[in-house]
Structure 1
Amino acid sequence: MKILAVFACVLAGCLAKRPHPCSSPPFLSGALTVSTQNEQLWSYIQYEYDALGQRIRLKELGTYLNKSFTYDALLLYREAIMYEINGNNRTCKKRPLKADFQPMGIPKTATLLDQAVLGSSSGPGQGLLINTWIGDLPEKQGKFMSTVTEFGCIPVSTVYHTDNFGWMVTSFFNNIIGISDPDQLNPPDFCPDAEMKDVTEEPVDFFSLFLEK
């Protein structure tokens, strides 16, 4: 009987699936923080994410070079437009968005680094099974390390390197599947008539949102 039990355990281990790159749910809402190695930037961000429509809304509050700031941006990748929104005085700035939409999740080119349990595996509900991956940023801009949940592929954290700030750490929390307020992913009624900023100015991409304050 003992031999049979041992054989069953070995078989179960052999049949256990190795983690694979994954896609996060197409609709997500939640919050995240961004901090930098050189301590120049820290921000708290509420986000709405629509992978099907390729839309992201970011409402940011933080400090940069010891100065506080707020920032509200709507990224519309299909239209290649980003709106900088000021709800207090009902104004918008429209800027070109050069980056391709990058769905949340783990790209197929990433390499599994480790699987671990956040918290404890001693009892039910005490831990969270996560997978950590490493790979290249879009257009080989550098390396990243991303952690997602094993079940659901919900983002937990991402670390990547920039020349200006060193390592940047993004931590996700309070994620929910779905869009809490769909109107947040449409331009406010005072935005559609906004004029595009000078096209000679460098267009923005997703990562530059955290760097230009």
Structure 2
Amino acid sequence: MLSFFILCLASVVIAQQPRPCTSPSQWEASVHSSNPKLDADLVGQLSYDSIYQRTRILQHVKVGTTETYYDIITFYDAKLVFIVNMKNGECSRSTFDQPWSDFAIQSDATSLGEAYIGSSTIHDAGLLVTIWSGNQTIPLNETARYIQTWTFENCLPVSNIVFEPSGSVNYMWYYNITLGIQDPNVFIPPARCWNDKKFLIQYNLFGPRMN
């Protein structure tokens, strides 16, 4: 009888262990990214669609006293990215080779456990999240350590902190997430983008990705 009880208890513990997961296929969220060392902040609205492998980020970036506004639509399957400068209306279209990667907890990530944002003792006052750590490759082919937080239910991103070898730390937060794409037209580039004129614009879709 005792051995049966121990076996049942072990099964419950195993069932409760956080496991890597993939976020829903379509969702939208407000995002905020910050890098104190670079005195940089990004505030934006993200539309994510893994069914058609496309993203759209409407972003306001501030680096020091310089502010820029971009609307970036990326089609991973077609290998095309459209960048609209919201200040002057200029638009560029270019190709790229970055493969699509779903928003997901990596299979080799290490679980740091679970926690409540807010309180678990007050009704409707807490959110159960899972916390993960691992390594990822960043630009310049460097390896950086990350700590990510995801909702326990539905596997939605909450935050991502990336510690770069240079000592720079990138913080990313996701909030006001809604499932589905409210307006599919957000993925349609302006008509003026369909030309051969290109601009040398450095951009970042939405900081280091949770992939």
- TM-score interval w.r.t. the shorter chain? 0.7 to 0.9
CA offsets 1:74-108 (integer angstroms, 9 cap, x no match): 11111222111135655410123232222112111
Structure 1 residues 104-113 or 21-30, which shifts more?
104-113
Percent identical among aligned pairs is 24
Partner of 1:62 in structure 2?
61
Question: Which amino acid is 2:194 matched to?
Answer: P
Partner of 2:156 in structure 1?
154
Which stretches of structure 1, 4 residues or more, deviate above 3 A after TM superposition? 9-16, 86-91, 138-141, 162-165, 194-198, 203-210
Structure-1 separation of matches of 2:72 and 2:167: 22
Structure-1 separation of matches of 2:61 and 2:206: 16
Partner of 2:123 in structure 1?
124
> Are the structure 2 counterparts of residues 206 and 106 from structure 1 closer, same or farther at C-alpha, using a change threshold of 3 Å?
same
Question: What does residue range 12-161 of structure 1 map to in structure 2 within 5 Å?
Answer: 14=13, 16-86=15-85, 90-138=89-137, 141-161=143-163
Query: Which sections of structure 1, spanning at least 5 residues, go unmatched?
Result: 1-5
Question: Which amino acid is 1:49 matched to?
Answer: Y
Partner of 1:3 in structure 2?
none
CA contact (8 A) 2:130 2:152 kept: yes
State the TM-score, normalizing by the size of structure 2: 0.82
Structure 1 residues 156-165 or 27-36, which shifts more?
156-165
CA-based RMSD: 3.0
> Are the structure 2 counterparts of residues 209 and 86 from structure 1 closer, same or farther at C-alpha, using a change threshold of 3 Å?
farther
State the TM-score, normalizing by the size of structure 1: 0.81
Structure-2 separation of matches of 1:196 and 1:39: 27
